[in-house]
Amino acid sequence: MRTSQYILATLKETPSDAEIISHQLMLRAGMIRKLASGLYTWLPSGLKVLRKVENIVREEMNKAGAIEMLMPIIQPADLWQESGRWEQFGPELLRINDRHNRPFALGPTHEEVITEFVRKEISSYKQLPINLYQIQTKVRDEVRPRFGVMRAREFTMKDAYSFHLSEECLDETYRKMHQAYCNVFERLGLDYRPVIADTGSIGGSVSHEFHVLAESGEDAIAFSSESDYAANIEKAEAVAPSIERPAPSKELNRFDTPNAKTIEELKEQHGVKPHRGVKTLIAYGAPNENEERGLVALVVRGDHELNELKAEKLVLVDSPLEFATEEDIVKATGAKPGSLGPVGLTMPIIVDRSAAVMADFVAGANEDGVHYSGINFDRDVTNYVVEDIRNVVEGDASPCGKGVLNIKRGIEVGHIFQLGTKYSEAMKAGVLAESGKNQIMTMGCYGIGVSRIVAAAIEQNHDKYGIKWPTALAPFELAIVPMNMHKSHRIPEIAEKLYADLQAAGVDVLFDDRKERPGVMFNDMELVGVPHTLVIGERNLDNNQVEYKNRITGEKEVIDLDKAIEVLLNHVKG
Amino acid sequence: MRTSQYILATLKETPSDAEIISHQLMLRAGMIRKLASGLYTWLPSGLKVLRKVENIVREEMNKAGAIEMLMPIIQPADLWQESGRWEQFGPELLRINDRHNRPFALGPTHEEVITEFVRKEISSYKQLPINLYQIQTKVRDEVRPRFGVMRAREFTMKDAYSFHLSEECLDETYRKMHQAYCNVFERLGLDYRPVIADTGSIGGSVSHEFHVLAESGEDAIAFSSESDYAANIEKAEAVAPSIERPAPSKELNRFDTPNAKTIEELKEQHGVKPHRGVKTLIAYGAPNENEERGLVALVVRGDHELNELKAEKLVLVDSPLEFATEEDIVKATGAKPGSLGPVGLTMPIIVDRSAAVMADFVAGANEDGVHYSGINFDRDVTNYVVEDIRNVVEGDASPCGKGVLNIKRGIEVGHIFQLGTKYSEAMKAGVLAESGKNQIMTMGCYGIGVSRIVAAAIEQNHDKYGIKWPTALAPFELAIVPMNMHKSHRIPEIAEKLYADLQAAGVDVLFDDRKERPGVMFNDMELVGVPHTLVIGERNLDNNQVEYKNRITGEKEVIDLDKAIEVLLNHVKG
């Protein structure tokens, strides 16, 4: 492709409304343009990258035995009513009426449509298992679309749905999909992690997220230093400390803390180290049979953070977690937040595993402006239960039993899930089992954010000059940059010849034939992220030579003209 | 692919709501399923065919220098307001509101979005011409979706838009697109015709439709027997007869026709041959300066049909054409329709070219139940003009000057159009011209109905057993049908071996490994339209032979097992 006949559309300035680096670089490198909030046009270079991701996903899905089909974007409301999601799904579900005023939704996902399809088409156990997928434009009416294609309203997803007669069969397909996803991210050349997204109560994981690691990632992920274990920080278990709780060595001691309402202030004003104190948070308890909610105290070590997801899963705690109002707290404890503690509380007390092994610690006295030191469980606080209710931190023992946890940030680009019978039961999707009886199918679903991967790849692979594409994703393999071509006779001649020869050899070349200064051309090629560049200039030509540059390694090499194609092919295809 | 691991989804019965053969066969061959009115899921076989069309279209567009990009489906209303189409477009434009109640449309076409894009990105004549295209899901809220994917609400289109500084430059790209479309349909292996869709007043055609010929086509197309001339019957010129009008030989003769109100009844009751009479139709004339519309008479030969599009283009006639009410007709002529004629009419009379060369003809007397014979122009009818206002018929002289017209039916699958400045002017899309002044760009647009081609190909290529795919479109290249595989030891062994060898040789094989009777398997493979079939049965195996069958030619051949791969590859790839 010649830049003169292309829409390169690079920008010198960073658009002011682009907050993250991938959004900035996708705009600057001419990959996307905004049409309206959350709606992006993919320019030629952007689309090429998107299609490369699509094709790798498609190949790995096919290899894993999944079968591609294509469902409509517009979905009838009645299917969503059948599954119950017409009411459950928020305004992210873009609902529309057709000309006859019949209600439809623009699909953010296709569980209902595929379940409707399979219950009509699959009637016998002999046709199972089956794994059907599509690569398609999806719609989600985000309240605040942002970060470019990272959180857009129209985006490309690969969504797959598998149907089974048994959990074991689902497990097998789930494992195949897990492997297929690993293959996809390997082939894309991305640093990624499959991460445990949820742990079932019967043990075994039923959901994994796939994250591309990048400092800008929205999710924090905890990894074992010595195993494959990885989990979203919100889901990672904080294992019970292996140490025993020391015996009390101090008496309970009341001291005035008129200006210390936080762990930080306690440290500054009274020298209490955060890990020697506890935080006491008051939330509403699960409702009783009369739908009345009491209060419940959540106690974590001063340097730890409450994990709300873990807390709200406990039977004592209302879900979703809701912190108590100051009014309710004062009524129940006599003190305002900032002076709360477990001593003397009459409500149920849930103590985090790490707090539960503390002795002689500090906490509020449930009296405004007063704290206790020398608190000890069982002596000063008797009515409590111990649970895992905090976020893990770096250095925690890994729940897998090996090594300690490290924490990195990631961007979620894939999610696989053992759905079970949630949709098939609601929509009565059954088949004739071998027994001759009708049996509800068990389902799995498997998503990859195809357009999001493009942005995530850039978050992970860039420098101050632009994008550093992994080979599998680059929009072009090689750029030809002839310097001051229009002032020379031999440069255009040689450039055209090499362009033709490289194309004939199957290289996807971007030939920068614009009348631009060399600096502008180099900057554009680096911004766009073409991995290999061939520079043609007078000085090297005097020696019958051209120059090769590698975008990723920075490596430069002067090549003899008569060996240029051979050497370049080695770099590009090697 | 093994049928046991596939969704073949063939149907024995023809679904009752499928009116045309392609819709029936696409359902029966397991290519599509209806989700809701006008919304179809593409099953694996259907999607494979759709993608083959897509890829051929993409390759030919790229070859012609067009550049692929991808615009959003959801388009902001303000762009449509700017072009004026928000009001002009009917309810086919599916309008939606997002969660913030902002108006959008689901794109049936992208003139506005691409013009918005280009006016922002292209600023100089140096960047022109440019031809941008996308292959995308489009939405059109048809009032009565029917014929399966032939007229669906969600469908796949290739739409391209080119931008130019001059008509000459547009002409050049237009010709390239015309050629690219011819290449596409050639490669698809379809019998097609580029058809003149409109003739500009300054001569030269500014729009062509591409039709796949099929008896079931909705459009009638007129072809020259001796040139490339082809035009939609509604647009084809009916040239003036080369004969002179004979001199009058009869007197005007009034006769009673109490029960003859139609050409057919005149023939049956009074022996008047249709081509010896004329039909007189009364429509409203173009409004005068006071917005008042008079009436106008349209006279065509009894065996010809009025062409409403031609009539409404005349300055005397109101557009769109509207026939007069019986009340207005009686008031103006004294007679009801059925007894009308040109003699004595006071309104403007427009006579078709072929009627204008008639002598001694028959028409109504503008008195109920009475006709005249022996009518002659200039003697009995003086106040008239002659125009082309009829549909052409088989045998008419071709307007190209060579041969006569034949009429065939076609399905419109492509349309190329010289748009001019319609959108670029309304949306102020200009560039800096070489002169240094701002100049509005000239546009072309080029559409192909990708999903419609799949249906059109079937309308053209089928028999009573199912689809007869052109090679380029077939969902699989070859089917392996092992007869009673599950009762044999050697059949599965040989079938598996040949399956593996054919796949290794790059053949896309459908291996029917179901426990079905041979008849069921043969019927399914013929229905699906796999072009080549390999049959493995005990009897032939006794002689170390297998059988080859060709779906298109019906040819059968017994092959020695040790030469099977070689012979089959010759058939499939040859």
Q: Most B CBs within 10 Å: which of A45, A52, A71, A74, as the mutation test of the B interface?
A: A74
Q: Most B CBs within 10 Å: which of A27, A34, A35, as the mutation test of the B interface?
A: A35
What would the CATH number be for the domain defined by B253-387?
3.90.960.10
Confidence of residue A434 (pLDDT cuts 50, 70, 90): very high
**How far is the C-alpha of B311 from the C-alpha of B263, rounded, in Å?**
21
Single out the residue of A213, A234, A232 nearest to residue A221, CA to CA: A232
pLDDT at A205: 56
Q: Most B CBs within 10 Å: which of A54, A99, A116, as the mutation test of the B interface?
A: A99
Return the biggest CA–CA distance within chain A.
93
pLDDT at A197: 80
Rounded mean pLDDT, B521-540: 96
Residues A7, B69: C-beta atoms closer than 8 Å: yes
Its sign, for the CA torsion B410, B416, B421, B426, is positive
How many C-beta atoms lie closer than 10 Å to residue B161's C-beta? 25
CATH class, domain B478-573, is alpha beta
Q: Is A406 helix (H, G, I), strand (E, B) or coil?
A: strand
Q: Most A CBs within 10 Å: which of B3, B70, B92, B132, as the mutation test of the A interface?
A: B70
Q: How far is A50 from chain B (nearest CA, A)?
A: 10
Could you tell me whether strands A349-352 and A295-301 are parallel, antiparallel, or unpaired per DSSP bridges?
A: parallel
DSSP label of B275: G
Rounded mean pLDDT, B234-255: 93
Q: How far is B452 from chain A (nearest CA, A)?
A: 16
**How far is the C-alpha of B225 from the C-alpha of B397, rounded, in Å?**
9
Could you tell me whether strands A545-550 and A532-536 are parallel, antiparallel, or unpaired per DSSP bridges?
A: antiparallel
- Enumerate residues 6+ apart whose C-beta is below 8 A from B178: B194, B208, B416
Give CB contacts under 8 A, 24+ apart, made by A356-360.
Answer: A356/A245, A356/A384, A356/A386, A357/A240, A357/A241, A357/A243, A357/A244, A357/A245, A358/A245, A358/A276, A358/A278, A358/A301, A359/A245, A359/A246, A359/A247, A359/A248, A359/A249, A360/A246, A360/A248, A360/A249, A360/A250, A360/A276
Its sign, for the CA torsion A14, A15, A20, A25, is negative
Q: Most B CBs within 10 Å: which of A43, A47, A52, A69, as the mutation test of the B interface?
A: A69
Chain A residues touching B137 at Cβ < 8 A: 73, 137
**How far is the C-alpha of A533 from the C-alpha of A535, rounded, in Å?**
6
Please report, rounded to a whole number, the percentage of residues in chain B having pLDDT higher than 90: 91
At A506, give phi and psi (nearest 5°).
85, 15
- Enumerate residues 6+ apart whose C-beta is below 8 A from B154: A72, A73, A74, B38, B39, B40, B137, B138, B139
Give CB contacts under 8 A, 24+ apart, made by B485-494.
Answer: B485/B513, B485/B515, B485/B536, B486/B515, B488/B538, B490/B541, B491/B536, B491/B537, B491/B538, B491/B541, B494/B536, B494/B541, B494/B546, B494/B561
In chain B, which residue's Cα lies nearest the Cα of A73? B154
Residues B69, A42: C-beta atoms closer than 8 Å: yes
Single out the residue of A142, A149, A147 nearest to residue A20, CA to CA: A147
Are B206 and B198 contacting, i.e. CB atoms less than 8 angstroms apart? yes
Per-residue pLDDT at B204 exceeds 50: no
**How far is the C-alpha of B340 from the C-alpha of B296, rounded, in Å?**
12
Q: What is the ipTM of this complex?
A: 0.88
Q: Most B CBs within 10 Å: which of A1, A7, A81, as the mutation test of the B interface?
A: A7
pTM of the model: 0.88
Q: How far is A81 from chain B (nearest CA, A)?
A: 15
- Enumerate residues 6+ apart whose C-beta is below 8 A from B84: B426
Confidence of residue B17 (pLDDT cuts 50, 70, 90): confident
Are A148 and A26 contacting, i.e. CB atoms less than 8 angstroms apart? yes
Two structure tokens written together for B50 = 């759709």
Domain boundaries, chain B: 47-235+407-458, 253-387, 478-573
Residues B72, A139: C-beta atoms closer than 8 Å: no
Chain A residues touching B99 at Cβ < 8 A: 91-92, 94, 141, 143
> Which of B6, B74, B154 lies at the smallest CB-CB distance from A72?
B154
pLDDT tens sequence across B80-126: 999 999 999 999 999 999 999 999 999 999 999 999 999 999 999 99
- Enumerate residues 6+ apart whose C-beta is below 8 A from A413: A185, A192, A210, A211, A212, A448, A449, A452, A453, A456
- Enumerate residues 6+ apart whose C-beta is below 8 A from A150: A20, A22, A23, A411, A452, A455, A456
Residue A446: enclosing H or E segment and its boundaries?
strand A442-449
Amino acid in position B364: G
In chain B, which residue's Cα lies nearest the Cα of A78? B36
Per-residue pLDDT at A228 exceeds 60: yes
pLDDT at B198: 62
Are A105 and A75 contacting, i.e. CB atoms less than 8 angstroms apart? yes
Rounded mean pLDDT, A22-32: 98
Its sign, for the CA torsion A348, A302, A390, A224, is negative
Chain B residues touching A98 at Cβ < 8 A: 94, 141, 153
> Which of A4, A47, A72 lies at the smallest CB-CB distance from B40?
A72
Residues A42, B70: C-beta atoms closer than 8 Å: yes
Amino acid in position A56: I
Residues B73, A154: C-beta atoms closer than 8 Å: yes
**How far is the C-alpha of A181 from the C-alpha of A178, rounded, in Å?**
5
Q: What is the DSSP string of B167-211?
A: HHHHHHHHHHHHHHHHHHHHHHT--EEEEEEEE-TTSSEEEEEEE
Rounded mean pLDDT, A80-91: 94
CATH class, domain A47-235+407-458, is alpha beta
Per-residue pLDDT at B488 exceeds 90: no
Chain B residues touching A9 at Cβ < 8 A: 121
Its sign, for the CA torsion B149, B151, B153, B159, is positive
Are A423 and A445 contacting, i.e. CB atoms less than 8 angstroms apart? no
**How far is the C-alpha of B343 from the C-alpha of B92, rounded, in Å?**
45
| Average pLDDT taken over every residue of chain A | 95
Two structure tokens written together for A349 = 């007390």
Are B76 and B100 contacting, i.e. CB atoms less than 8 angstroms apart? no
Residue B203's alpha-carbon distances to A362, B149, B207, in angstroms, are 95, 36, 12
Confidence of residue A32 (pLDDT cuts 50, 70, 90): very high
**How far is the C-alpha of A370 from the C-alpha of A260, rounded, in Å?**
9
Rounded mean pLDDT, A547-560: 96
Residues A113, B41: C-beta atoms closer than 8 Å: yes
**How far is the C-alpha of A162 from the C-alpha of B329, rounded, in Å?**
68
Token pair 């081609």: residue: B453
Chain A residues touching B41 at Cβ < 8 A: 69-72, 113, 117
Rounded mean pLDDT, B222-237: 89
pLDDT tens sequence across B277-310: 999 999 999 999 998 999 999 999 999 999 999 9
Token pair 């999601």: residue: A85
Rounded mean pLDDT, A46-57: 98
Residues A35, B76: C-beta atoms closer than 8 Å: yes
Please report, rounded to a whole number, the percentage of residues in chain A having pLDDT higher than 70: 99
Chain A residues touching B47 at Cβ < 8 A: 68-70
> Which of B35, B50, B121 lies at the smallest CB-CB distance from A72?
B35
Residues B72, A5: C-beta atoms closer than 8 Å: no
Chain A residues touching B132 at Cβ < 8 A: 7
Residues A94, B99: C-beta atoms closer than 8 Å: yes
Beta bridge partners of B560: B545
Q: What is the DSSP string of A273-307?
A: -GGGBEEEEEEEBPP-TTS---EEEEEEETTS-B-
Residues B94, A91: C-beta atoms closer than 8 Å: no
> Which of A39, A46, A98 lies at the smallest CB-CB distance from B94?
A98
Confidence of residue B205 (pLDDT cuts 50, 70, 90): low
Amino acid in position A418: Q
Rounded mean pLDDT, B328-349: 95
Rounded mean pLDDT, A82-87: 95
> Which of A40, A69, A153 lies at the smallest CB-CB distance from B42?
A69
Amino acid in position B367: E
Any idea which of B62-71, B155-164, B208-217 has the lowest mean pLDDT? B208-217
Q: How far is B242 from chain A (nearest CA, A)?
A: 51
Chain B residues touching A4 at Cβ < 8 A: 126
Residue A67's alpha-carbon distances to A314, B6, B43, B67, in angstroms, are 41, 7, 9, 30
Chain B residues touching A40 at Cβ < 8 A: 72
Domains B253-387 and B478-573 share a fold: no
In chain A, which residue's Cα lies nearest the Cα of B133? A44
Rounded mean pLDDT, B331-341: 95
pLDDT tens sequence across A341-387: 999 999 999 999 999 999 999 999 999 999 999 999 999 999 899 99
**How far is the C-alpha of A534 from the C-alpha of A514, rounded, in Å?**
15
Residues A39, B5: C-beta atoms closer than 8 Å: no
